Amino acid sequence: MNYRHIYHAGNFADVVKHAVLTLVIERLKLKDAPFRVIDTHAGIGGYDLGSEEAQKTGEWRTGIGRLIGPDAEPLPAPAAALLAPYLDVVRALNPPGEIVRYPGSPRLARALLRPQDRLIANELHPQDAVSLRGAFARDKLTQVMELDGWVALKAQLPPKERRGVILVDPPFEAPGEHDRLVEALAEGARRFATGIYLLWYPIKDVAQIRAFKRRLAATALPKLMCLELMVREPHDPRQLNGSGLVILNPPYELDAALAVLMPVLADRLAIEGSGRWSQEWLTGK
């Protein structure tokens, strides 16, 4: 429980994770029926990029700063259109032409919801949970919980709306997080088979990731894919070389959107050399 996301807020991994989350939410909104967003490891909701912690790493500069920072080049029109709902939320938190704050996943999701939709934001870290409650005080569309993320996931499935997206974004500070992701996905699918699941994972040791994917494929869950972005070649397994999302039940046409968006993000967010992205179906579409 020592992990604090403020050091990494707005980095390349956040950009990809939040861009995909936004694409999924926007597709859920194409139907009038309500849906629920469940964020199991929600953090504090929003981050001050001028803080000592954020300035210490400066990771946001090679993340969100490359998309809408003062020196950012314009995005190609098709990618800019796909990113617009996400980037509009970020811009709304900041003075014109500046980036001083970045929304965490619960604030981003909340900004995209309609009156009939709901957000469950869960955070176990005591200090962060207090901040999260403050961020959503008196918000009737949001329920804040302070449970272990894995417990919260079980407690909230299935949602009464029977439509929704579940974001699982653990800190990976304890051993066995990859195994817990596989177990959580299998358990979640048993409870809420039609839900859209987004499970984030860091890419450091590529051999470990290959084993992780084999365990995922062994679940035999249908419509299961991995989306990855590499910002450097994985020569050093001690550093964050890329990040991935396990996506169960991706919504219709997400494939087409990713084919437009991901090459642009791979080019824009590369840290060393050329960035690259991949999309791999672990089980049949």
CB 24 within 8 A of CB 254: yes
Q: Identify the helix (H) or strand (E) that includes residue 142.
A: strand 142-145
Measured distance CA(110)–CA(141) in Å, rounded: 8
What is the token pair recorded at 37? 């967003």
To the query of whether residue 169 is one of the catalytic residues in this protein, the response is: yes
Per DSSP, the three-state class of 271 is coil
**C-alpha separations of 36 from 116, 182, 252, 270 in Å:** 9, 22, 18, 33
Measured distance CA(107)–CA(15) in Å, rounded: 14
Q: Give me the amino acid identity at 216.
A: L
CB 37 within 8 A of CB 164: yes
Of residues 88, 117, 169, 255, which has the active-site annotation?
169
User: How far is residue 136 CA from its own chain's centroid?
Assistant: 19
Closest CA to 68 of 19, 17, 135: 19
**C-alpha separations of 206 from 210, 248, 257 in Å:** 6, 21, 26
Cα angle 140, 143, 147 (rounded to 5 degrees) comes to 170
54 φ, ψ to 5°?
A: -70, -35
Active site residues: 169
